Every structure is written in C-alpha cells, then in structure tokens.
Amino acid sequence: MLLVTGGAGFIGSNVVAALNDAGRSDVVVCDHLGTDGKWRNLAKRQLADIVPPAELLDWLKGRKLDAIIHLGAISETTATDGDLVIETNFRLSMRLLDWCTTNTVPFIYASSAATYGDGAEGFDDDASLAALKKLRPMNLYGWSKYLFDLAVAERVARGEKLPPQWAGLKFFNVFGPNEYHKGSMMSVLARRFDDIRAGRMVQLFKSHREGIADGDQRRDFIYVDDVVRVITWLVATPSVSGIFNVGTGKARSFKDLMLAAYAALGSKPNIEYVDMPESIRGSYQYFTQSEVDRLHGAGYNGGFTTLEDAVKAYVGGYLDRPDRFR
C-alpha cells in the first residue's frame, strides 16, 4: 500500500487521483475530513482506508508500505498556535521519518518555499546544513518546515541512518483543482474567478516598492499537475533522494495570472489596484522564483506547464464547470 498523509487536501487529493488513474487502488489517506466539505476532494476516488491523524502511529504498527507521501500539515501561513503547528508539522514528521527509517520505507515529504523567508538568501535548494542555517523563515508555518529540513540535513551530515529514499519538496505557489476548502489560502485565481466570470472588478495590490509596477509582484506559480508529476516520478525513482525546489523556475506577475484567466474566458480584463494593507507591507514578498537545477540534475525531465496553458486547463476543466472537483 501507499500512504498519503494530507490526502484529502489540495495537493494530496491530486496525488491520490494520479495514483488511482495509474491503476492503484491500494492507497490509504490520512487526514481530517472535518465539516467543510473536504471529502469532496476524494469523492471520485477509490481508497483502501482513511485514517484519522490521531490514530496514524497505531495504524502503522506491523504495516508493510511501498512509500509514505507526507503532505499533511497545518499549511496556513497565518497560523499562530505555535504548539499545535510544531506538534503537527515537525514532531509528527519526525515520528514518520523514524518509522520509515526503521521499516526501510521510502519517505517523500512536503517542505515549502516559505522556508526561504523574504528571499534575501535566494531560492537555492542547497540542502547542506551551512546553507540551510542561513535561511530565516518569516512565519510559523515556514519555520516548522525549516526545522524538519534541518533535522533531516543533520542526519545526512552525520551519516546517520535514513529511509532508503527520502525527498523533501519545497513547493512554490501551487494552484489548481481541489484547493477550494483552503479559504484565504486558495490561489488568487480561485478566489477571484467568480468575479472574473461575472465581469465584476477584480482587485490586485498596488506596488509600494520603487521600480515595480502595480500588480507586477511576482511569484513562481506552478500548476498542481506538474507538482504531482514530480511526486509520482520520485515514487517511481527510488534511487533519488534530496531536498528539491518544485517550481517552474520562472516568476510571473499576479497581473499575468489574472490576464490569463480573462483570456481563457475570452473576456475583457477589468482590474483595479488597491493599497496593500499597512499590516503586511513590511513582510510582503515581491518576488519568488525557484531554482530547479538540482531537480533536473537528479533526472527529472517532466517539464512544467506555462502559466497561460495552466490557467486555461484550470479554467476550462474545472473552475468554469458545474463540478469543479478532480
């Protein structure tokens, strides 16, 4: 069996869909389904089991697994409960790492581009302890992911035993189907799509930095299908271990993203720019762009979808349909 933690979430449910599409029904999901309709992300899937996170460690006793794909986390960058975030994102990850080490099971886990903080040290996925220690995450979520990367890197540096395959994935700005339960953490495209389709004014932030135009704040937007291809490639390539950026390597603006959505609908852009709230101006990132040389160097050649093609696929295949779920 394959275990996908966070399997009812955004990226996790897309991974489960890809595994089902590849003919695997022996997929176990560990997640909280809650009361916000997150179950709909899995409504079209065949599963071997759904395990509540509180029962996971007991469930694992005596199990034989092909791999653990560990995507479960408190992923809100605005989270403030430090004890809960560390218990969920760091300590549980450590227990799973130890289990995979003891039971010789491949372990693929979600790190985050949030570990890079404001980007002052760049976006190089150098997994050495010296390089990691230069990073300064800006929020609790990023710090929790950073702590786990450090713990793994420490074991590598000391030559300690690890799972037969281990891979940490620093996701950049992922968007695509099944992100609808994420509320304010949804992509701006998903949040604004109904306004775009209805012809209502769409607001983007003005720039408060000299030399950068309004709406030209840039992110490395990556379509979830591309992320899933990287994960399934790793599952199929157990010889590859390391910490890797998962982004396109090309930063695009929020304005580009919105214009691509208007183009996908064949409608006229209707965008206005509003002041960024004072509370976030000091910590707002104006630019993120992954370096993907290490991923390519490890043998990945699946390519990445252009922003325009990704938005077209998302809009036409999901957002502009009565059933938006994969």
Residue 182 is a catalytic residue: yes
Annotated binding site: 10-11, 31-32, 38, 71-75, 145, 173-174, 182, 184, 205-208, 219, 284
CA distances from 94 to 71, 86, 87, 234, 244 (A): 13, 11, 10, 20, 19
Taking the CB of residue 3, how many other CB atoms lie within 10 A of it? 25
Annotated binding site for NADP(+): 10-11, 31-32, 38, 71-75, 145, 174, 182
Annotated binding site for substrate: 173, 184, 205-208, 219, 284
Q: How far apart are the first and last CA of the chain?
A: 22
Helix (H, G, I), strand (E, B) or coil at 41: helix
109, 133, 180, 182: the active-site residue: 182
Residue 92 CB partners (closer than 8 Å, separation 6+): 53, 56, 72
Cα dihedral sign, 161-65-222-192: negative
- Which residues does residue 272 pair with via DSSP β-bridges, in sequence order? 203
Exposure of 298 in the CB half-sphere (CA atoms within 13 A): 20
* Helix pair 140-158, 92-102: axis angle to 10 deg: 30
Taking the CB of residue 68, how many other CB atoms lie within 10 A of it? 25
109, 116, 141, 314: the active-site residue: 141
Active site residues: 141, 182
